[in-house]
Copies of this chain bind each other. A is one copy, B any other.
Amino acid sequence: MGITWTWVSVSLDGFITGPDDNAENPMGINGESLHEWMFAPDRDPTEQKRVDKIFSSVGAVVMGRRMFDLGIDPWGNENPFAHPVFVATHRPREPFESPNKPPINFVDSFHSAIAQAISIAGEADVLLAGGAAIFQQALAENVVDELRIALVPVLLGSGRPLFKPGGHATARFELINFHPTPAATHLTYRPIT
């Protein structure tokens, strides 16, 4: 069995989208700045290889319904991943199929989505793709083995926070990998349980 991990781009003030995200602007105001590191013109050419290598361990993907609903159109109406996707949703529907791509399946609970993803991934890893509700639930329920953050040096002011605000929940992490680049600082944390 592999591990469950996430790779999320987050602003210096803790947001994974800008404010006012909607179907027309899925990342919210200025939210696209969070993903510029993937396309930075001055990017080290070895960087894509590093990213590809990290993603090569993935065997299945879990995401939230909102991410699917807002994403499927920008993704060109197909699964953006090379692996089966499990969408946790209170509104299940038939699988979304596209030619030459694994199906996107809809599952009636977060726990069931995680369990099915782990099962189909086998020895490979499960990627938690997002969005905020999935990350927050996964952290709260200790199903994240590695939290990989691309810390992007921008402030967005508001938007959807990576970490659930409020309360007195204390959690600790261990930094197990780091990789600074001009466009983002990549930090991999392991929760200490």
Contacts and interface: CB of A to CB of B under 8 A. Distances in A.
Copies of this chain, tallied across the complex: 2
A13 B170 CA distance: 10
A76 to B, nearest CB: 28
A189 B152 CA distance: 11
B166 A158 contact: yes
A45 interface: no
A45 B162 CA distance: 34
Interface centre among A33, A169, A175 (most CB of B within 10 A): A175
Interface residues of A, number: 36
A7 B173 CA distance: 21
B171 A155 contact: yes
A174 B182 contact: yes
A179 B14 CA distance: 20
A178 interface: yes
5 contacts: A12-B189, A13-B161, A153-B189, A154-B172, A157-B168
